[in-house]
Amino acid sequence: NAGVTQTPKFRILKIGQSMTLQCAQDMNHNYMYWYRQDPGMGLKLIYYSVGAGITDKGEVPNGYNVSRSTTEDFPLRLELAAPSQTSVYFCASSQQDQPQHFGDGTRLSIL
Amino acid sequence: AQKITQTQPGMFVQEKEAVTLDCTYDTSDQSYGLFWYKQPSSGEMIFLIYQGSYDEQNATEGRYSLNFQKARKSANLVISASQLGDSAMYFCAMTFGGATNKLIFGTGTLLAVQP
């Protein structure tokens, strides 16, 4: 049972570079989410999706973009990486009114 | 605006003792869900327990129980018979009225279980 799979696990970017964080789930969940966790803090919602083709902003969406072309995949795109985006990124999925299942996270450093 | 507050940045507990981790929330919604997640030093987020705002009985899952006091807007996590493996960060989180299932997290409590 893979659950929620995030790749890569670690990445270092230079300021101004772009990259895509991948997230895939095999539980046929309609809902998917991207969070970031800064040191010593709780998770903050970046973007979420309630189904294929539907995405919406969370609490901290600036500097990020998402797409949801399939039920399984929910990639997060960083354009023009900035030091403030250094964080641990978590992808999660769920059905409505059910607990969210999290991936193992992607640790991203921007130097 | 919805808000989650965890007032204990860190706590110690002796092995085999019970510990209560505090969580209070602020919302005017009538329908919401309360969750607790555990984050060990390895970094993954592990779901522990859930309580719906309309559930009358406090939720229990093994050694975890949720002390839900709706009038006081609190949802404290009780861990009985603490084990060394319980040492981790614990986050209280909520979903609020609506169909999006979005989670809002507290800032967490770091629990250290001492032998």
Q: What is the pLDDT of residue A57?
A: 94
Residues of B in contact with A40 (CB under 8 A): 107-108
Q: Give mean pLDDT, residues A6-13.
A: 95
B33-39 and B88-95 beta bridge pairing: antiparallel
Residues of A in contact with B52 (CB under 8 A): 97
% of chain B at pLDDT higher than 90: 79
Residues of A in contact with B103 (CB under 8 A): 33, 35, 43, 45, 92, 100
Q: What is the DSSP letter of A85?
A: G
Q: How far is B106 from chain A (nearest CA, A)?
A: 6
- pLDDT higher than threshold 80 for residue A46: yes
Nearest CA in chain A to B95: A97
Strand blocks (E) in chain A: 4-7, 10-13, 19-25, 31-37, 43-51, 54-57, 64-66, 76-78, 87-94, 101-102, 106-110
Residues of A in contact with B99 (CB under 8 A): 50, 96
Number of A:B CB contacts under 8 A? 62
Of A42, A48, A98, Cβ closest to residue B91? A42
pLDDT band at A1 (very low <50, low <70, confident <90, very high): low
Q: What is the pLDDT of residue B101?
A: 78
Q: Chain A contact for B106, CB < 8 A? A: yes
Q: What is the pLDDT of residue B42?
A: 92
Q: What is the pLDDT of residues B48-87, one digit of tens each?
A: 999 988 888 999 999 999 999 999 999 999 999 999 999 9
Q: Give mean pLDDT, residues A14-38.
A: 96
